[in-house]
Structure formats: structure tokens, C-alpha cells
Amino acid sequence: MAKAHILGFPRIGAQRELKFAVESFWRGDTGLAALQETGKTLRQRHWAIQAEAGLDYVAVGDFAWYDQVLNTLALLGAVPTRFKFDPERLTLADYFTLARGNPEHFAMEMTKWFDTNYHYLVPEFTADISFDGGVDWLFEENAEAVALGHATKVTLVGPLSLLYLGKIKSGIANKLDILPKVIAGYQKVLQRLQDAGVEWVQIDEPILALELDAAWRAAFEPTYQALSVGAPKLLLATYFDQVREHSVLLRSLPVAGVHLDLVRGAGQLPGFLQDWPSERVLSAGVVDGRNIWRTDLDSALTLLQPLQASLGERLWISASCSLLHVPVDLAHENKLDAELKGWLAFATQKVAEITALKRALNGEAKAVEAQFTAAALAVAARKISPRIHNPLVQKRLRQIDLIPATRNNVFAERIVKQQARFKLPAFPTTNIGSFPQTADIRQTRAQYKRGEIGHLDYLNRMREEVRLVVQKQEEIGLDVLVHGEPERNDMVEYFGEQLWGYAFTANGWVQSYGSRCVKPPFIYGDVYRPEAMTVGWSQFAQSLTSKPMKGMLTGPVTMLQWSFVRDDQPREQTALQIALALRDEVVDLEKAGIGMIQIDEPAFREGLPLKAVDWPHYLDWAVKAFRISACGVQDDTQIHTHMCYSEFNDILPWIAAMDADVITIETSRSDMELLDGFGEFEYPNDIGPGVYDIHSPRVPKVEEMQRLLRKARGVIPDQRLWVNPDCGLKTRGWPETTTALENMVLAARTLREEVAQQEQAA
């Protein structure tokens, strides 16, 4: 009899209960007991969904107060030593300090979890780091599930992935040097789980989907030899891509089972089935954990049937990866049109799909016949729906090569015309776009959505906010202004709401980091722009000031990457459709007198495939999509782009090929390290390296920003250098924002004086 399980369930709650409880605890509005109670309720609810649907095990260990990597560090006792916390007595307040920082300590670094929009906290390895044991939360949660009568499978981030994803901070030459300590830490945890009667532990090693060098590959054998002794049965989970090149290694490891992502790595199965060890479980991830489309159950069953014939009860059925990356429950989508809703499955529905497949395999086909029929009808209806294909969009796409994807002249010529037009001082100061999204703004939007206030009231309220943002920036003395984006719930969802071919949900929340969530829109059909999306706002904002006002758009790759995308055509085709829509918007902004237009591409690096062999194809179409959107304007219109949350050095030639006149990037958290690559590469166009870490409420001092700017001057020529924060300010409050920006402007002014004096002296 095949079994069914999932690698993890979203922890945030269908109504973002965890977010609200955690934020209330941070504000001091509620105490620890209330927070613990919410956590407990959510875990119970999520286990009940899994058990009632018929999964054979519920996942324990997928719950985290902020992040699963930080939870793993807290479990092992390997939290960064610079905070000086006693790992065994780590409180929840300490845990949040690690994640968010405090006036004495900057927060742990945060970066993207593989190619997802989820951010994890980066482990910090120092010579004094220990893995001698930490908090008991995981053991308590397992006991909690067992007491509720559930059969549990505990999930852990694997030792090699944890090590690989961390950073050496000091005193260690090579990360693998501390592997013995890490192994000892995991052994202790596994021993305790064994003592608690846990039968299965799922160990996630997503780094197996990357191209690993020989040393990392070689580390798997001794690590798992050591971990398999005196431990529960281990299920080694791989996901996010195929792991075909490791099939021999995976077969040889002393684990009780392996999980494969058969959505992203659909073709890898035959390579594993040959000589699959006779005692070992194979977990088949056939339901897409990264997208929201309803599974074609008949096709999945056809794939699984021969597997069951050869594996029998050693076949486990699952989603491709943890369901962390999809929203919780479609049942809360009361406003979504019925046809579209019928095409979708969120985490709760995916659990039901997995168990339907299991039952069909296990001789209960009759009992799940209705589920299979409904799925087949939905899949068939989606394929032929007239809402998907638009002949005009497709015609334009077929002729895309006739559309110029280069500017009229090279940057050296454009910048002269732009300087003549804008007459900016040296080291111009600007912002990335958003200003504080205050509770008032969000509540007003919520009221508008509920119909409690009218459209005009809403517009006026948001215009007031734009007025305030413009006035503040003028008072502070910034050179290039932004309108602050108050009218946007999110930089992707906002455009998704206006573009055809896109749809959006009411409650499709997915955790982005900590308590922050996003509601990715989904693309079901050919994308086009029925009318201008931002021109009115930009025109209004520009009318309030004589300084240049940047138009503000989200680029095609980010619009794709942060949405749930079509699975019926290649991603690049969808990206190019979005690019064409954005090109029209850029041209309309220019016509409306907007001289600077920023096309944000924070997800450009994130979209890079996990395996380098797939990079050239992606980079080709991603650069093309950006250029299609940006290149419809005259030389003296200045195109900006912005990127954050990324290590850019390995793709600098392609960033240069995007040919934006100005790029602003996140660099302050890495102390300008990220800028070095731009210098070495001699990046030709203007750059604004971030000097203000917007993730922290901490206000950077003038001297700190001056130091960063001096560092930047060592790498970037003065005439190319801009001054700006790392990213948008939407998560910040007003008082700290105002002071930080005043300090930033002062830092730029001092630098201008310094340079003028140096020039006079020379």
C-alpha cells in the first residue's frame, strides 16, 4: 500500500494568524502565553488538515516563529555567537532579536531560499560556534502532535544544506572543516527523536539540486553514515530541480528513503528506478508545491502506477517540495470567479490531491472517482478556455523581433543629454520608491476594498499621502523624488490587478520573511495592458514638484517571478508578454512628461536557474524582456532599475547588458562588498549603492554612510555614483525614515564638499 505525506505545510495561517500574533507580541500588546497559544492552535489545525485528509504522517518541524533555518540553528544551539545568548536557554525574545536585531546588534543577514521568494536567515559560522544543543521546541511539538493521536514524521533542514547556506564570519578556513561538529549536533537531535519514539525523520538537502563541487558531494557519504546510526529512519528530501547527477550517490547513502521533485525534475525518474535498493522508500513529489494549479490527477496516477507495481508500500506520494510556497486554503476565496477558482489548488487542496492519488493506487478508486472526475473536467476546461489565448497578444509576440530592444544611442551619449536635462549635482540623492505603508494607509485600502469608503475618498486619501511624501523629500533636500507608492498593496500584486491575463486572490498569502507575507497574483492567460496603470499617479506627483519625479514600475522578470505562472507555456513567453505591456506604460509615462522611469528588477537574480548550465538561456530572455520594456524611449529619458536581496557578481555582464542608465542596488548590509564586483567589472553606467539598511529600524549615522560612500568611491568613478537607501522604505516608520534620509542627504552633501576641496587642492 502506497503511503502519502507532505514535506511541510504553510505555517502562517490562512488568515495570517501567526503574523498578527507575532507582531502583536513584538509591539508588547500581547504576552508570550498568547503567542504560544496561537502557535499551538495553528499547528493543531494544520495537523488536523493533514490527518483528516488521510496522510499517513503529519509533518512536525515545519512550524517556525520566524524562519525554519533559524529554528534549526536554535535546535542545534548554533545561533550566532556575537549575540552572546546561551543556546540552551534561548528565549523566544532572544530568537526574535537574532532575526530582527536590536540597537547593539545588527540582525542576521537574510537571503533568498533558492529560487523562491522566501527569505531565510543566514547561519553565521565562527571558530567559537557550537552545535551542542539548544531549545527543546521541536521535541515539544512532536510530543504535542503525538498527544493528539497523530503519527508524526519530523522534518529537519539537513546538515550539509545548513552548512552550505551559511557564511563563515571568522576563524574558519573552510565550511567543511566544522562538519564534524555539525554532525555531532545532528546526532544528538536524532538520538533524542529516536528516544521519543519517532519513526521517520525527513532531512531536507535541497543543495543537491545545485551543481555541487567534489568536496561537497564527497561529504554526503560520511555524513549520512554517521547520522544513520542510532537514529530514526531517514528520508532524504531533494527538491526544486532534478538531482540525476547524484543518483549513484543517493542510492549508496545509508538512508531509508529519498524524495524526488517530479515536477521540476520530471525526467529524472528512470535514472533512479534502475536498481533502486530493494528496501528503500521512494517518495514521488508529483503535486506541484511551487504553483497553484490543480493537479491533473489522471496523468499523475499514470506516472505512479508503474512505480507502485515495482515499489509497493515503498512508494510514498507527496508534493514536489514543502507547501510553504503556496497559499493555505482556496476555500477562503469567496470573490474569485468560479471558472478560475475551479482551476486552482492551494495547500489544503493539494493535501487532498495527494491522498486521492494514494487511495486510487491502493484500490479505492471508486471512493475518489468524483475527485478524479472533477480534476479531469477542470484540467480539460482550462486547456480550451477562451480566456487563455488572445490572438492580438500572440500576434504581437510573434513579431517581437521587429520591436527595437536597444536604445537609440549608447549610454555615453545618452548620459550627456540626460545631464543637460536634469542638471543634477554630483552624487545625486534618491529613494528606491516606497515610503512607509502606515497602518492608516493599509486600513484605508481595506475600507475601500470592503466598500466602506468610495473610490474618490480613497484616491484623495492616497493623493494626500503622495503630497506628504513629496513635501518631506523636498524638505529633506533629496534631488530625485519618488511618489512613495501608497496606492500599491504590493509592487507585483498592484500591477497584477491591472493587467489582463492576471488574477488575484483575497487571501492567497504566502510567507516572504518573518511576519511579512505577499499575495502573489496568478497569470492564467495572455497578458496585456488595457490602459495606463501608473501615469495618473506619476503625473500628479510630478505636478507637485519641480524636481525630477521617477515613474515607478515593476519589471517583467519580477512580475513573473513573484507571481504564480502559467504552466502551459514557457516562462519566457509570459515574460515577453509582460515586457510588451510595460513598454507601452514606459512610453506613456514619457509622453506624460516623466523624464526618469524606474523599472524594478529585484527578482532578476532570483529567477536564475539553480544549475549554471541553464543560465545562458534564462539570462538571454530575461535581459531581452527588460530591454523590450525599457527601450522605447528617447535618449534624454533616464531609465533606472533596482535590484536587492542578491549576490550579483556572477551575472554582472548581463546586468550591464540590461543597459539601464542607473541601477540602484542593496549593498549596505554587506558593507559595500557587493559593489566590488561592479568595480572590477568596470560596470559602465550609473550606480547607486545602498548606504542605508532599510530592514532595520536603526537610524544610520551620517559618518557611517560617509564611510560607505568613501568605500564606494574607491570602486566607482565619482561621476557615476548615486546615493540612496538599499531598497524601498515601506516597512519602516516615519520618524526613523525622516532622520535616516536627513542623514543620508547630509552624507552626500559632505562628500560633495570634500570632493570639491580635493579638486581645488589638486
Ligand X SMILES: CN1c2c(nc(N)[nH]c2=O)NC[C@@H]1CNc1ccc(C(=O)N[C@@H](CCC(=O)N[C@@H](CCC(=O)N[C@@H](CCC(=O)O)C(=O)O)C(=O)O)C(=O)O)cc1
Ligand Y SMILES: N[C@@H](CCS)C(=O)O
Applying CB under 6 A, which residues contact ligand X? Answer: 19, 117, 437, 439, 442-443, 445-446, 489-492, 512, 516-519, 562, 602, 645, 731
Can you tell me whether residue 84 is helix, strand or coil? coil
Candidates 253, 242, 235, 183; CA nearest to 211 is 242
Q: How far is the CB of 323 from ligand X (least distance, A)?
A: 18
Strand 522-528 and strand 500-503: the pairing is antiparallel
Which of Zn ion, ligand Y, ligand X, none sits in contact with 674, Cβ below 5 to 8 A by type?
none
267 annotated as a binding-site residue: no
Which DSSP category does 731 fall into? Answer: T
Which of ligand Y, ligand X, Zn ion, none sits in contact with 117, Cβ below 5 to 8 A by type?
ligand X
| Closer residue to ligand X (CB): 492 or 623 | 492
313 annotated as a binding-site residue: no
For 493, other C-beta atoms within 10 Å of its C-beta total 20
Residue list 553-612, contact with Zn ion (CB under 5 A):
602
For 413, other C-beta atoms within 10 Å of its C-beta total 12
Residue list 622-651, contact with Zn ion (CB under 5 A):
644
333 annotated as a binding-site residue: no
Residue with cell 507585483: 492
Which of Zn ion, ligand Y, ligand X, none sits in contact with 731, Cβ below 5 to 8 A by type?
ligand X
631 annotated as a binding-site residue: no
Residue nearest ligand Y (C-beta atom): 728
Which of ligand Y, ligand X, Zn ion, none sits in contact with 562, Cβ below 5 to 8 A by type?
ligand X
Which of Zn ion, ligand X, ligand Y, none sits in contact with 492, Cβ below 5 to 8 A by type?
ligand X
For 129, other C-beta atoms within 10 Å of its C-beta total 26
Residue with cell 519517532: 198
119 annotated as a binding-site residue: no
Which DSSP category does 744 fall into? Answer: H
Rounded distance, CA 169 to CA 274, Å?
43
Question: Can you give the binding site for ligand Y, defined by CB under 6 A?
Answer: 432-434, 491, 552, 600, 602, 642, 644, 727-728, 730
| Closer residue to ligand Y (CB): 502 or 604 | 604
Which of ligand X, Zn ion, ligand Y, none sits in contact with 552, Cβ below 5 to 8 A by type?
ligand Y
450 annotated as a binding-site residue: no
Q: How far is the CB of 248 from ligand Y (least distance, A)?
A: 42
Q: How far is the CB of 449 from ligand X (least distance, A)?
A: 7
492 binds Zn ion (CB under 5 A): no
Q: How far is the CB of 135 from ligand Y (least distance, A)?
A: 33
Find the DSSP H helices in 63-203. 68-76, 92-100, 137-147, 159-165, 179-195
Candidates 634, 645, 690, 627; CA nearest to 663 is 690
Burial of 665 (0-12, 13-18, 19+ CB in 10 A): buried
Count of residues that bind Zn ion according to CB under 5 A = 3
Which of Zn ion, ligand X, ligand Y, none sits in contact with 433, Cβ below 5 to 8 A by type?
ligand Y
Q: How far is the CB of 52 from ligand X (least distance, A)?
A: 28
Q: How far is the CB of 293 from ligand X (least distance, A)?
A: 19
514 binds Zn ion (CB under 5 A): no
19 annotated as a binding-site residue: yes
727 binds Zn ion (CB under 5 A): yes
Q: How far is the CB of 491 from Zn ion (least distance, A)?
A: 9
Angle between helix 455-476 and helix 439-449 axes, rounded to 10 deg: 160
Q: How far is the CB of 20 from ligand X (least distance, A)?
A: 9
Q: Each residue of 385-398: b (16+ CB within 10 Å) or e? A: eeebebeebeebbe
Can you tell me whether residue 724 is helix, strand or coil? strand
Candidates 82, 86, 76, 181; CA nearest to 134 is 76
| Closer residue to Zn ion (CB): 101 or 602 | 602
What contacts 629, CB < 8 A, 6 or more positions away? Answer: 553, 555, 556, 578, 579, 580, 582, 583, 586, 599
From 259, 332, 640, 695, active-site residue: 695
Which DSSP category does 489 fall into? Answer: S
Q: How far is the CB of 603 from ligand X (least distance, A)?
A: 7
In this structure, what C-alpha cell is assigned to residue 318? Answer: 507527496
Rounded distance, CA 544 to CA 467, Å?
7
Residue nearest ligand X (C-beta atom): 489
Strand 662-665 and strand 596-600: the pairing is unpaired
567 annotated as a binding-site residue: no
516 annotated as a binding-site residue: yes
Kindly calculate the radius of gyration of the chain based on its CA atoms and give it in whole angstroms: 26
107 binds Zn ion (CB under 5 A): no
Q: How far is the CB of 345 from ligand X (least distance, A)?
A: 21
Phi, psi angles (nearest 5°) of residue 431: -120, 165
Candidates 174, 178, 160; CA nearest to 223 is 160
Candidates 281, 268, 269; CA nearest to 312 is 281
Which of Zn ion, ligand Y, ligand X, none sits in contact with 53, Cβ below 5 to 8 A by type?
none
Amino acid (one-letter) located at 472 = K
| Closer residue to ligand Y (CB): 306 or 536 | 536
For 249, 255, 371, the CA distances from 1, given in Å and listed in that order, are 27, 21, 20
Q: How many helices (H) and strands (E) does the chain have?
A: 27, 21
| Closer residue to ligand Y (CB): 345 or 643 | 643
| 360 Rama sector, left if φ>0, alpha if ψ -120 to 50, beta otherwise | alpha
666 annotated as a binding-site residue: yes
141 annotated as a binding-site residue: no
| Closer residue to ligand Y (CB): 59 or 729 | 729
Q: How far is the CB of 400 from ligand Y (least distance, A)?
A: 26
Q: Which residues pair with 643 in a beta bridge?
A: 665
| Closer residue to ligand X (CB): 289 or 602 | 602
Find the DSSP H helices in 338-438. 338-341, 347-361, 369-384, 391-398, 411-422
Which of Zn ion, ligand X, ligand Y, none sits in contact with 439, Cβ below 5 to 8 A by type?
ligand X
721 annotated as a binding-site residue: no
112 annotated as a binding-site residue: yes
Rounded distance, CA 390 to CA 526, Å?
6
Residue list 22-41, contact with Zn ion (CB under 5 A):
none
Which DSSP category does 728 fall into? Answer: -
Length of the chain: 762
Rounded distance, CA 61 to CA 512, Å?
18
Contact criterion met (CB below 8 Å) for 234 and 257: yes
627 annotated as a binding-site residue: no
Which of ligand X, Zn ion, ligand Y, none sits in contact with 512, Cβ below 5 to 8 A by type?
ligand X
Contact criterion met (CB below 8 Å) for 738 and 484: no
Residue 455 annotated to the active site? no
Which DSSP category does 450 fall into? Answer: T
For 457, other C-beta atoms within 10 Å of its C-beta total 13
433 annotated as a binding-site residue: yes
| Closer residue to ligand Y (CB): 50 or 434 | 434
Which of ligand X, Zn ion, ligand Y, none sits in contact with 519, Cβ below 5 to 8 A by type?
ligand X
Residue with cell 500500500: 1
Binding site per annotation, positions for L-homocysteine: 432-434, 485, 600
Please report, as ranges, the residues that interact with Zn ion according to CB under 5 A. Answer: 602, 644, 727
Binding site per annotation, positions for L-methionine: 432-434, 485, 600
Binding site per annotation, positions: 16-19, 112, 432-434, 485, 516-517, 562, 600, 606, 642, 644, 666, 727
Binding site per annotation, positions for 5-methyltetrahydropteroyltri-L-glutamate: 16-19, 112, 516-517, 562, 606
Binding site per annotation, positions for Zn(2+): 642, 644, 666, 727
Catalytic residues: 695
